[in-house]
Amino acid sequence: MMVVFCAVFVMLSSRADARGFTTRYESMRASLTLPAHAHEIQVAPALEQIERRVQAAESDSRVEPLYLAVPVDDDERAAMALKLAKPKKYRALMAALDAELAKSTARPVDPHVDPHEEAEVTTGSGDRVAQAGQEPQGAHGNQNNMVNPVAADDLNKTRKIRVHPDLFRLMSAAAVTTRMQRTHVRVSIDSARLLDKPDARGELLAQLAPFMEADELRKVAGKLRIAQQLDVDADLLPAGPRRAVKSFEIFRGPNCFMTALAFQYPKMVRSQLVNIKTERDHHEVMINNDELWRVLQSSFYEVDPARSPLKFGDMIVFFQLPANLKSPTDADISYRWVKHATTYLFNDFAYSKGSKSPNSPYLVGTLRSEWRAWEKHVASGGGNLGVKVFRKPLKSATSRPPKALDDWLY
């Protein structure tokens, strides 16, 4: 009884003290700085997965079709066809692209697809909006209407066409895969440099404990004890994110909100007490910004990063604040301001999924790059970036949200 009372008191006290927003990246501090090595690698969907996506999109409306941004200019279109075509299929692919381009202006709009959302197969890993794998949204939508820009493409010079199975059979799947690459930050911890730092080792294990099973935690402790290098992807992520990291979906729907919430409580994203509304033509696990905002208030406590440095697993929620906002209280905050969520790991590293599009994989990146990208995008919409940090209760706390739904939207 006393433990429960104390936990509730801490939650309520934290909320009362943390009504403001963090508006400067420099205000975010790490509670634990570890000796780490990081390097960028390129990840792409498997050939079989792209083929499955193209085929499944014909019959399953939850599967996002693959789109291609085709240059209007004949020479540029020929150069694209040359890169994408299978051996001896160049002429056939060029003719097919010409035919699709001719139909593109007359083709009815696909009601299931946000015309700004898909990162087509022409997208490389180049001048993306955020280099750490995040794909920030447009100025006025929420994260579920994410803009997924086509790098280096001018919409006045290209036309979007859907890649149907007959068209895909003319393309080199390897060429398509290469153009769908995204950047993942591979991070490892130098355990040898922690041998003489028992406090740092103990704090790392303590922060991992709410997210790991006992045998997983013992494995990490064993590697620390013998100074064996720890790989973030394989050793530090919880079971669900560990399976998902660097992978791609075929469905539209799994988004940054779902990814952040599932990191905390894997079963919660499927709970009817949280995932109240299933969006048409989307996978059932998609979490809307209103659903996320409600469960954050009911099942998490807010942390002021100026007074409590970030810990492993903290959920960092990005808001687009109205430009004329003064000093809001919790009651003033609209769920519509919620734009993105990421999960803090340690140092400057974070884990997230850029958008609901299957072109966005689950990636480790840097908090700094996400901050800069979202700061730019909310500014383009006439707002300001504000961030709140949420932490799950003690490990013994329940993962079930309250049952009172009378104040809910639906």
Residue range 270-312, pLDDT digits in tens: 998 898 988 999 999 999 999 999 999 999 999 999 899 999 9
**Listed residue (299, 309, 40, 50) closest to 175, CA to CA:** 50
Dihedrals phi, psi of 117, to nearest 5 degrees: -90, -40
β-strands 36-43, 182-189 pairing: antiparallel
pLDDT value at 212 more than 80: yes
- Of the pLDDT bands very low, low, confident and very high (cuts 50, 70, 90), residue 114 is very low
**Of 50, 110, 61, which Cα lies nearest the Cα of 358?**
50
Confidence of residue 387 (pLDDT cuts 50, 70, 90): very high
In this prediction, residues 208-225 reach a mean pLDDT of 96
pLDDT tens, residue by residue, 127-180: 233 333 333 333 333 333 333 333 334 567 899 999 999 999 999 988 998 889
| CB-CB contact of 123 with 158 (8 Å) | no
Q: Find residue 281's DSSP bridge partners.
A: none
Residue 136's CB: how many other CB atoms inside 10 A?
28
Query: Measured between alpha carbons, how far is 366 from 351 in angstroms, rounded to an integer?
Result: 8
For the chain, how long is the longest CA-to-CA vector? 75
pLDDT in the model for residue 123:
27
> Of 388, 379, 328, which Cα lies nearest the Cα of 140?
379
Read off the pLDDT band of 110 (50, 70, 90): very low
Question: What pLDDT is stored for residue 151 in this prediction?
Answer: 32
pTM: 0.81
Distance CA 70, CA 160 (A): 6
In 177-187, which positions are buried (b, 16+ CB within 10 angstroms) versus exposed (e)?
A: bbbbbbbbbbb
Residue 280, C-beta contacts closer than 8 angstroms, at least 6 positions apart? 61
Alpha helices, DSSP H, located in 343-401: 367-380
CA dist., res. 236 & res. 195, Å (int): 18
Domain boundaries, the chain: 43-180
The two structure tokens encoding residue 351: 């884990």
| CA 8 to mean position of chain CA atoms | 30
Average pLDDT, the chain: 82
Rounded to the nearest 5 percent, the helix, strand and coil shares of the chain are 40, 20, 45
User: What local confidence, expressed as pLDDT, does residue 125 receive?
Assistant: 26
Residue position matching structure tokens 């383009």: 380
Q: Is 188 helix (H, G, I), strand (E, B) or coil?
A: strand
- Predicted confidence at residue 144, as pLDDT, reads 37
Q: What number is the average pLDDT over the span 44-61?
A: 95
